[in-house]
Amino acid sequence: MTQVNMLEAKSHLSKLVRDLEQHEEDTVYIARDGKPVVMMIRIPQKEASERFGIAEGVFTVPDNFDSWDEEIADMFEGSI
């Protein structure tokens, strides 16, 4: 936890944000007249891998899915 006054927060905002991003700080309090008025924290980021399987059970691939390839190739006159 770090507490900074308004002027210091304005002057060092990039450093404060970087410290939060790099987990060097978990919370930064911005104070006015020595009293904290704002709490700044890092927003948790979701891992991209959490999206895999999101449609599981909602969508199934038809058995004849690959058989459409020739039909589509004919539509493009073999240019694909």
- Residue 64 covered by a domain: no
Domain encompassing residue 16: 2-41
- Residue 18 covered by a domain: yes
Tens-digit pLDDT string for the chain (80 aa): 899 999 999 999 999 999 999 999 999 999 999 999 999 999 988 776 666 777 778 888 888 777 767 777 788 876 65
CA distance 13 to 47: 26
- Residue 71 covered by a domain: no
* CATH number of the domain to which 29 belongs: 3.40.1620
- Residue 59 covered by a domain: no
- Residue 60 covered by a domain: no
Euclidean distance between the first and the last CA atom of the chain, given in angstroms as a whole number: 58
Q: Is the pTM of this model over 0.85?
A: no
